[in-house]
């Protein structure tokens, strides 16, 4: 059921265009995946995601396991049916949230003991359990259970953690049976140490996953360092498999990632900034609370073409933000996701038309 | 531009079906008006309001005057353009909010001095000012400035207040010039005193408004008392003009109001209860937080036919409510408004088909 076919390799950069076949349809890469943490992309209807040409969304194993419970989602007929989204879904493994959100976590080679951030209840995640939950959720792409190494971390910590992540990847692979309906991706860790990253990538490659991710980036390190890690890791994962940069999604990082060979991205930024009253424009992030927009009766982006830019002014959006109206989050999330996906679509077309460099130059990135 | 034509008088009750012509289109009565307090029906897109056949929405003079300012709305080209809603809009006069929301208000025959609930700033509303603000907003129907009498109120207070409301109604009438583009409705007050209500209605009738409202009801009094006041007031307003019951919108009150000759209603209940995780069903209000819905994979109302009931289960809605997701408010507001409007549409058809009593009987009202 799963197949990744590269249909165009950029001659100017390491970018490529590919098609990933899944049980819920094809995904053309490079792709930005909106995040639907709790089985909803916050403040956005599934129909709106279709309108903005979202091809796949991400949902969160940790959150859905705790609430409503993966058993409930399974009884509902799986995540697609539960949340009314019939295109592909990727679920993360819960590793990141166990380490960032839960209380009193205790890690061992066997797994992680943690307390729920919701009610303090005690839980134990193992690689096998993370796979089982994702099997129950029924997502198209599932992720191996890993530890996201904090930044900074000393070499010994990073080495030890990466070894654990590798042993967990192997156990995930063994635990995951239904490879026809769900593709299990391995996750490269290794902190900010290129040799650990390379080692990890090689060992994961030996395990033969249908896709690979690079995790533990965008955790506070300088962007230049992140780009370097990507560049040095990319040669060590199979070139004919999708390569997914986890948790990254600002416009500059998307562009910089794609030309380094990244195929998939996800980020909560687009919807989170919306709830804070901010919008993505060609001049960067703008904060609609600013007084300058009070009587600005122009759209966020005249050339955007999205539902929001066609129908609403910055003055109205500012009013909604200032008045703490839910519609502010709805409209800004719509625009921010649409605008991001549109840029990725344009980038895909540029790669197909041997125009990658020219396309990216328009964005006036500081390090390009 | 404004015309009200009664196309069917119910033979069984005082209900009637009418068509109110406005600059932004015709409204068929009886009609339920969703409330868009701050120039947005909370958590609902204008397109969704169209889908659910909302014919007219209400917006709030007090709120829009304070934020973003009626000058901003005027510069935006009026409220319709500002909020992307091209069907009729009714604005209230601000009277109710001045008395219920503002700080340190001081009433005199001239007007009301009050402090903004947002920033404490001092403002003075007069009948002339309330009309001017509504002229700036550009709504289709504007309301006279009135005092909503608290419940309970002694006779002298109610009498004095009603006299002031009447003098203000007269001043509103004089201040409102553009009767072609905006219809000014008078508001009957009088507290729970039938003779004050009758007097007020008669004196307003002498002023010859294109429509009449009954205010100061649903302020804590028993429903039976409200129905009695409506019954006793109705004969004293012109029968060929629309009669609007302000701030009332529960299903039983809508039905009971229509058969007593009410043509228009508005209520925040439908969207407010959504934000509290509650839905309107044929069995009344249900609270989705209840554990019984955890694995209830059926829609809110199998026969509803709305977008929400076609695509989502109670289990999913419960999950959204429990997770405090914005989508909960979006979906529940959609259903609650759709369901209410659908009942009103059904009632209209029943009146047209001489079937009013049978239609209302299905709802098993306690006092019918």
Residue B29: predicted pLDDT: 98
CA distance B91 to B93: 6
Residues of A in contact with B312 (CB under 8 A): 84
Computed from CA positions of residues B302, B308, B311, B315, in that sequence, does the dihedral angle turn out positive or negative?
Answer: negative
Does the beta-carbon distance from B319 to A39 stay under 8 Å? yes
Residues of chain B short of pLDDT 50, as ranges, are none
Query: Which residue on chain A is closest to B71 by alpha carbon?
Result: A295
SS3 B30: coil
Does the beta-carbon distance from B322 to A68 stay under 8 Å? yes
Query: What stretch(es) of chain A map to CATH 3.20.20.105?
Result: 3-267
Six-digit token pair at A297?
């009766």
Residues of B in contact with A294 (CB under 8 A): 68, 72
Please indicate if any CB of chain A lies within 8 Å of the CB of B206: no
Question: Hey, which residues does B185 pair with through a beta bridge?
Answer: B143, B211
Of B43, B67, B312, the CB nearest to A319: B67
- Residue with the bigger pLDDT between A73 and B365: it is A73
Does the beta-carbon distance from B323 to A67 stay under 8 Å? yes
What's CA B73's distance to the chain center, in Å? 21
Residue A17 predicted with pLDDT over 80: yes
Residue A139: predicted pLDDT: 98
Does the beta-carbon distance from B319 to A68 stay under 8 Å? yes
Residue A104: predicted pLDDT: 83
Does the beta-carbon distance from A313 to B76 stay under 8 Å? yes
Please pick, among B26, B136, B266, B296, the residue that the annotation labels catalytic: B266
Burial (CB count <10 Å: 0-12, 13-18, 19+), residue A211? buried
Of B75, B322, B329, the CB nearest to A326: B329
Please indicate if any CB of chain A lies within 8 Å of the CB of B167: no
Assigned CATH for B3-273: 3.20.20.105
A364: region left, alpha or beta (phi > 0 left; psi from -120 to 50 alpha): left
pLDDT more than 90, % of chain A: 95
Peptide bond into A280 cis (omega under 30): no
Residue B100: predicted pLDDT: 85
pLDDT more than 70, % of chain A: 100
Please indicate if any CB of chain A lies within 8 Å of the CB of B79: no
Residue A68: predicted pLDDT: 98
User: Right CATH number for A3-267 from 1.10.274.10, 3.90.1570.10, 3.20.20.105, 3.10.129.10?
Assistant: 3.20.20.105
Residue B27 neighbours by CB under 8 Å, 6+ apart: B19, B20, B55, B56, B88
Residue B366: predicted pLDDT: 83
Does the beta-carbon distance from A84 to B330 stay under 8 Å? no
CA distance B352 to B30: 11
**pLDDT tens readout for residues B102-151:** 778 899 999 999 999 999 999 999 999 999 999 999 999 999 999 999 99
Residue A1: predicted pLDDT: 81
- Chains A and B: how many Cβ contacts under 8 Å? 100
SS3 B223: helix
Residue B363: predicted pLDDT: 95
CA A155 → CA A99, A151, A188, A195, distances in Å?
A: 19, 11, 16, 10
Of B40, B72, B295, the CB nearest to A75: B295
Is residue B92 part of the annotated active site? The answer reads yes
ipTM greater than cut 0.90: yes
Is residue B303 part of the annotated active site? The answer reads no
Of A76, A297, A326, the CB nearest to B326: A326
Does the beta-carbon distance from B313 to A76 stay under 8 Å? yes
Six-digit token pair at A244?
């997914």
Residue B54 neighbours by CB under 8 Å, 6+ apart: B33, B34, B41, B87, B337, B341
Of A315, A323, A325, the CB nearest to B72: A315
Residue A367 predicted with pLDDT over 90: no
Please indicate if any CB of chain A lies within 8 Å of the CB of B321: no
């Amino acid at each position: 059921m799963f197949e990744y076919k590269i249909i165009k390799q950029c001659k100017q950069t390491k970018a490529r265009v590919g098609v990933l076949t899944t049980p819920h349809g094809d995904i053309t890469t490079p792709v930005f995946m909106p995040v639907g943490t709790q089985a909803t992309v916050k403040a956005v209807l599934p129909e709106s995601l279709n309108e903005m040409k979202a091809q796949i969304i991400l949902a969160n194993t940790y959150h859905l396991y705790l609430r409503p419970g993966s058993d409930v989602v399974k009884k509902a007929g799986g995540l697609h049916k539960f949340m009314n989204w019939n295109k592909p879904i990727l679920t993360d493994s819960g590793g990141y949230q166990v380490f960032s959100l839960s209380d009193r976590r205790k890690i061992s080679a066997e797994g992680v003991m943690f307390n729920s951030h919701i009610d303090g209840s005690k839980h134990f995640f193992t690689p096998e359990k993370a796979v089982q939950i994702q099997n129950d959720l029924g997502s198209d792409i599932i992720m191996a259970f890993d530890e996201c190494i904090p930044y900074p971390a000393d070499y010994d910590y990073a080495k030890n953690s990466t070894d654990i992540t590798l042993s967990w990847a192997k156990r995930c692979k063994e635990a995951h049976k239904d490879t026809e309906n769900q593709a299990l991706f391995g996750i490269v860790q290794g902190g900010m140490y290129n040799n650990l990253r390379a080692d990890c990538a090689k060992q994961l490659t030996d395990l033969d996953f249908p896709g690979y991710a690079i995790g533990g980036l965008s955790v506070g390190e300088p962007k230049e360092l992140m780009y370097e890690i990507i560049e040095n890791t990319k040669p060590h994962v199979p070139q004919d498999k999708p390569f997914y940069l986890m948790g990254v999604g600002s416009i500059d990082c998307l562009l910089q990632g794609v030309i380094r060979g990244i195929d998939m991205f996800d980020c909560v930024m687009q919807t989170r900034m919306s709830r804070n009253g901010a919008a993505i424009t060609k001049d960067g992030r703008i904060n609609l609370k600013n007084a300058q927009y009070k009587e600005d009766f122009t759209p966020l982006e005249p050339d955007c073409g999205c539902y929001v830019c066609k129908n609403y002014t910055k003055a109205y959006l500012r009013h909604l933000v200032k008045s703490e109206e839910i519609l502010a989050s709805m409209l800004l999330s719509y625009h921010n996701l649409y605008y991001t996906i549109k840029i990725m679509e344009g980038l895909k077309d540029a790669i197909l038309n041997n125009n990658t460099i020219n396309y990216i130059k328009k964005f006036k990135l500081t390090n390009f």
